């Protein structure tokens, strides 16, 4: 089981598209247990497979901070059928990453999220067509204004793709805002940031300013605009659904963790 959990840890660092491709080619391990359950343990809830606690790649007992998340992770393990497919276990991957990696590289992860805020997708605006410009403005401006007010500054908006720096004081305020999160919540925040391309949207989710559906919609303005004009590709739709599952796992952690 330890080798399999090491695979989970490695996969946590990969983007969802790459992970999905690799899992499709990999010979997956067979399910070796009958029951998966969450049990109270010192520091939270452990996941037991036929009574044996799941270990992280770092050889410590995998712990979830509360029963909600413990039950959700146990459900991921129970949902595996003949084989164990890590692609369907985003909570397990995030929890392993948080416990073994984020806990010892906390500042690096928080700094990386803050760098996203320095080149946030919400700050880069289309200059045409007008309908897309207006949609971005309608969905993004209120979030930008809220985040600026929360952090005591104002984000710079850019038309096109030429990089422009954000105010240093604003980024420092962002970094302070996320600096007291637990490793698990920080890992979830990183996941939400990566999947949406926006540290601002991830912050709005963490702070309870926007719900998951509104964040997801705001993150896909351009994609949805192109779908309306040209239709939806089946492979792209499948990948988006997969990414939404990953995103929902991060949401659950931020709401319950």
**pLDDT tens digits, one per residue of 136-170:** 999 999 999 999 999 999 999 998 778 889 999 99
DSSP summary character for residue 161:
S
- Which pLDDT value is given to residue 14? 52
Q: What is the CATH number of the domain that holds 20?
A: 3.30.2180.10
The structural domain count of the chain equals: 2
Judge whether 215 lies within some domain.
yes
Query: Does the predicted model carry a pTM greater than 0.85?
Result: yes
| Domain membership flag for residue 96 | no
119 and 81 both lie in a single domain: no
Report residue 169: phi and psi, to 5°: -65, -35
Looking up tokens 């996969």, which residue turns up? Answer: 11
Distance between start and end Cα atoms, the chain: 26
Tell how strand 44-49 and strand 52-53 pair up: antiparallel
Separation CA 43–CA 124 (nearest Å): 42
Q: What is the reported pLDDT for 27?
A: 80
- Alpha helices (runs of H) in the chain, residue ranges in sequence order: 2-11, 16-25, 67-79, 90-97, 106-118, 130-151, 168-178, 183-196, 199-206, 212-219, 221-230, 234-256
Q: Is residue 97 in some structural domain?
A: no
Of 127, 118, 120, nearest to 170 by C-alpha is 118
* Mean pLDDT within 118-139: 96
Q: Angle 168-178/199-206 helices, nearest 10 degrees? A: 40
CA–CA dist 159, 137 (Å, integer): 12
| H or E stretch covering 44 | strand 44-49
End-of-domain residue from the set 86, 118, 152 = 86
CATH assignment at residue 152? 1.10.3580.10
Region 194-205 average pLDDT: 97
pLDDT in tens, 215-229: 999 999 999 999 999
Per-residue DSSP letter, 150: H
Cβ atoms of residues 195 and 220 within 8 Å: no
Residue 3 confidence (pLDDT): 41
**Region 74-87: what's the mean pLDDT?**
93
> Does residue 99 sit within a domain?
no
User: Could you tell me if 80 and 113 lie in one domain?
Assistant: no
Measure the CA–CA gap between 110 and 199, rounded to whole angstroms: 11
The mean pLDDT of 171-196, rounded to a whole number, is 97
Confirm whether 224 is domain-assigned.
yes
- Asked whether residue 180 is domain-assigned, the answer is yes
**How far apart, in Å, are the Cα atoms of 27 and each of 4, 18, 80, 86?**
12, 16, 15, 11
For position 135, what pLDDT does the model report?
97
Print the domain residue range for 69: 2-86
């Amino acid at each position: 089981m330890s080798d399999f959990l090491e695979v989970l840890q490695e996969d946590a660092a990969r983007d969802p598209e790459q992970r999905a491709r690799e899992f499709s080619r990999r010979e997956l391990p067979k399910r070796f247990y009958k029951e998966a359950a969450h049990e109270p343990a010192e520091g939270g809830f452990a996941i037991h497979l036929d009574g044996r606690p799941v270990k992280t790649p770092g050889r410590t007992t995998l712990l979830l901070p509360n029963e909600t998340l413990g039950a959700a992770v146990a459900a991921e393990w129970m949902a595996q059928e003949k084989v164990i497919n890590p692609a369907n276990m985003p909570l397990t991957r995030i929890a392993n990453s948080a416990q073994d990696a984020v806990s010892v590289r906390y500042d690096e992860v928080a700094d990386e999220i803050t760098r996203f805020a320095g080149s946030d997708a919400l700050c880069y605006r289309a200059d045409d067509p007008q309908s897309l410009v207006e949609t971005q403005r309608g969905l993004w401006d209120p979030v930008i204004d809220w985040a600026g007010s929360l952090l005591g500054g104002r984000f710079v908006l850019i038309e096109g793709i030429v990089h422009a720096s954000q105010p240093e004081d604003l980024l420092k305020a962002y970094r302070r805002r996320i600096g007291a999160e637990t490793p698990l919540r920080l890992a979830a925040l990183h996941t939400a940031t990566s999947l949406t391309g926006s540290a601002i949207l991830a912050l709005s989710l963490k702070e309870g300013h926007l719900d998951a559906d509104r964040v997801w919609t705001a993150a896909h303005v351009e994609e949805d605009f192109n779908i309306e004009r040209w239709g939806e590709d089946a492979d792209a739709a499948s990948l988006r659904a997969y990414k939404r599952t990953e995103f929902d796992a991060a949401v659950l952690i931020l709401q319950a963790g």
